[in-house]
Amino acid sequence: MLPKAESYVELVDQFNWKLPQQYNIGVDVCDKWANSQPDRLALVHKARNGEVVEFTFADLKRLSNQVANLLTAHGIQAGDRVGVLLPQAPETGCVHIAIYKVGAIAVPLFTLFGVDALAYRLDNCAAKAVITDATGVEKLDQIRGDLPDLNLVFNIDGPHPGCLDFHAERSKQSEMYQPLDTQADDPALIIYTSGTTGQPKGALHAHRMLLGHLPGVEMSHNFFPQPGDRLWTPADWAWIGGLYDVLMPAWHHGVAVVSHRFEKFDPEAAFQLMADFDIRNAFLPPTALKMMRTVKDPEKRWRFQLRTIASGGETLGAELLEWGRKTFGLTINEFYGQTECNMIVSSCSAMMPSKPGIMGRPVPGHELAIIDKAGQVLPPGEPGQIAVKRPDPVMFLEYWRHPKATANKFMGEWLMTGDMGVMDEAGYIRFVGRNDDVINSAGYRIGPGEIEDCLLRHPAIKMAAVIGVPDEMRHEIVKAYLVLDEQIVPSEALRQDIQQYVKVRLAAHEYPRQIAFVDSLPFTTTGKIMRRKLREWHSQGIA
């Protein structure tokens, strides 16, 4: 997508979108290569037991065609929602390709989600089918009675009551399939993103969103792809960062991806994996980089040869950038985006100087500005909200079944990111902070509303309010302020019980790592929680 250029200005001047009217992600990332170079390597998977399995693009086509036939045989049609509750695994990639070929809508779901988080998302999108593993089946068994639209559950780990054996059923299907000739604007994917109030919203994306991602991926990896490139990320493929910053862009370009599920991120194992599998390009979230930085002398202990590292989620400081140069012999490129409109800002060490505290410049093809509260574009150096002009191929179609939230996301022709920033005369953007109460923890954007709803279901809690508080490793962590029911006495045992309650029902990354028991919460005259006051309490050590 990106033309060859010696400078950023030249790159922007030469760039033009070339978007086809007919476009299908599954055909693009799989059949295109399988038909022309069937033996081209697509995936190198390291299983939990250490076994390594390789897949060519011909393998992906054969398997995804069988899955597409399987879904069709069970009544899945264009526009139907299909949940994908799987970790980094070969099945995950094949299932996504198959869903796109059918013209259905993929709904990636994080494997660490608890039953409440899964129930809300599957009910909200009215998913007709879910492909999962034994761990996911155990969770779904607890909530299927509340999901009237969910008729099909496929288990990749074998037979289970109420489920179909995914591989046994897939193997019966034909390896031939004619993909649906979808429009580039046809819906392909729903990824749920957190907001400041209430439950998460489903960002509905079109097939074109992969093409919209490509310039940012190519820029953040110094004009990716280059000969010998091979991509890996520890980020889960249920999130837009793992799925559309790594897996799908790599396959679009015919580049092999390494996959491996870390039960818990291990920095030494990450160095080992990069050395063992000749990884040349990595997307490493800032928290992963901070954890890897704690490992002593990695450049002496492992023989890795990375060409590029990209990172996003929070701004990297000068110290972490310098550590990257010392350890890997390269400058880590930062990028920026969000689920609704991703990979829109990037740095590129091959073309522009790295500036600590600066996340980069607008990626070619995306028009950004800093906007004031009235929707006016601000001059260079003035702080305001980061906005993206529509239409834009990477921009979401809408929030699923939430027209009011969709309308509120825009101000005239601008999509408002909710992030505050400053742009200088050369287009470099400095991130200032969130304009709302979304918590940024270890690269995850967490909405306080969903956690508060969960906490209020705990029998001991009368009122709950959640904020993010600073943390050296994770950037922010979740802190809950709780008012208990009468007769309930605060204790360490209760604190731990509440934390576990949220872990099980929502997700391990969303539980409150800090809890303050208080007599009352600060509210506005209209009854809204004053999170600003709670942040003052925390900073002043009041509670």
pLDDT in tens, 447-463: 888 898 899 889 999 88
Going from the C-alpha of 277 to that of each of 57, 356, 367, 377, the distances in angstroms are 19, 31, 38, 47
CATH number given to 8-366: 3.40.50.12780
Other beta carbons less than 10 A from residue 522's beta carbon = 16
Element (H, E) at 290: helix 286-293
What is the per-residue pLDDT for 412? 96
DSSP secondary structure of 163-179: BEEHHHHHHTS-S----
Instruction: Give the span between the Cα atoms of 155 and 333, in whole angstroms.
Output: 39
Q: Domain residues of the chain, as ranges?
A: 8-366, 439-540
Cross-strand partners of 336: 345
* Cα 200 to Cα 217: distance, rounded to the nearest angstrom: 26
Q: What are the residues whose beta carbons fall under 8 Å from the beta carbon of 50, sequence distance 6 or more?
A: none
Q: Mean of the pLDDT values across residues 93-116?
A: 97
Structure confidence at residue 489 (pLDDT): 95
310: three-class secondary structure by DSSP = strand
* CATH placement of domain 439-540: 3.30.300.30
pLDDT at 149: 98
Question: Which of the 8 DSSP states describes residue 440?
Answer: E
Q: Is the pTM of this model over 0.85?
A: yes
Q: Compute CA 217 distance to the chain's CA centroid, rounded to the nearest angstrom.
A: 14
For the segment 124-171, what is each residue's pLDDT rounded down to a tens digit? 999 999 999 999 999 999 999 999 999 999 999 999 999 999 999 999
Predicted local confidence at residue 528, as pLDDT = 67
Q: Do the Cβ atoms of 429 and 361 come closer than 8 Å?
A: yes
Residue 472, helix vs strand vs coil: coil
pLDDT value at residue 319: 82
Over residues 24-29, mean pLDDT: 98
Cα–Cα distance, 101 to 77 (Å, whole number): 10
Provide φ and ψ at 137, rounded to 5°. Answer: -60, -40
The confidence score (pLDDT) of residue 532 equals 86
| Distance from chain centroid for Cα 440 | 13
Give me the half-sphere count of Cα atoms (radius 13 Å) on the Cβ side of residue 155.
17
State the pLDDT confidence band at 433, using cuts at 50, 70 and 90: confident
Helix (H, G, I), strand (E, B) or coil at 395: strand
Backbone angles phi, psi at 525, to 5 degrees: -65, -20
Torsion, Cα of 114, 117, 123, 124 (10° steps): -160
Among candidate residues 346, 312, 305, the one with its CA nearest the CA of residue 327: 305
Burial of 49 (0-12, 13-18, 19+ CB in 10 A): exposed
CA distances from 206 to 105, 181, 191, 393, 394 (A): 9, 14, 12, 9, 8
Separation of alpha carbons 430 and 425, rounded Å: 12
- Tens of pLDDT, residues 293-345: 989 999 999 999 999 999 997 778 888 899 999 999 999 999 999 999 999 99
On the question of a common fold for 8-366 and 439-540, the answer reads: no
391 preceded by a cis bond (ω within 30 of 0): yes
For residue 54, CA distances in Å to 35, 59, 356, 508 come to: 18, 9, 39, 31
DSSP 146: G
